Amino acid sequence: MNDEVQTSEAAAKLLADRSVGELAEKMGIKLIELSAERAVATMPVAGNTQPFGVLHGGAHVVLGESLGSMAANVWAYPDRVAVGIEVSASHSRSATSGVVTGTCTAINLGKSLTVHEIVVTDEQGRRLSTVRITNYLREKPTR
């Protein structure tokens, strides 16, 4: 995780208990900002491409779902946990190099559901894809 992450107080508490996740770490996702309302992260294209050398569509989804899930879990913390129940993505442009940025914005922060939209852009600020995730907020399981 990036040591210079801008977080809300709730996000800081959540991140003290958890990492960004093993998949996100393997893909090189670096968290820059995190709150329930907004989350931002970067991801390198290198290492996350499909056989034709462009950023894999699934990588867009992993970036988007990671940001949306983290933001939803900030909203749910500490008594509840957010679990994804729907994710969709529309890809509008490809990237073959550099770093992409995902910017997650809350559409709805409710009592039982959250909806976030994540816009993935290239280094020139061009929209590559739009990811939308809905999370269900459930009671935290007891161990």
Q: Which amino acid is residue 110, in one-letter code? A: G
Whether the ω angle into residue 44 lies within 30 degrees of 0, i.e. cis, is no
The answer to whether the CB of 66 falls within 8 A of the CB of 21 is yes
Q: How high is the pLDDT of residue 139?
A: 93
Q: Decide if 117 is catalytic.
A: no
Question: Using N-to-C axis directions, what is the helix angle for 9-17 and 57-76, rounded to 10°?
Answer: 110
**Position 75: which residue type?**
W
CA-based torsion, 70, 8, 106, 73: positive or negative: positive
Residue 2: per-residue pLDDT: 43
Contacts of 12 (CB under 8 A, 6+ apart): none
Distance between CA atoms of 62 and 80, rounded to whole angstroms?
Answer: 22
Distances (CA, A) of 105 to 44, 47, 49, 82: 21, 26, 25, 16
pLDDT for 17: 63
Instruction: Give the pLDDT score at 25.
Output: 92
Domains of the chain: 6-139 (3.10.129.10)
Residue among 25, 37, 65, 117 flagged as catalytic: 65
> Is the whole-model pTM more than 0.75?
yes
Q: Mean pLDDT for each consecutive 10-residue tract of the chain (143 residues)?
A: 67 71 93 94 97 97 97 94 97 98 98 98 98 96 74
- Both tokens of 125, joined, read 């600020």
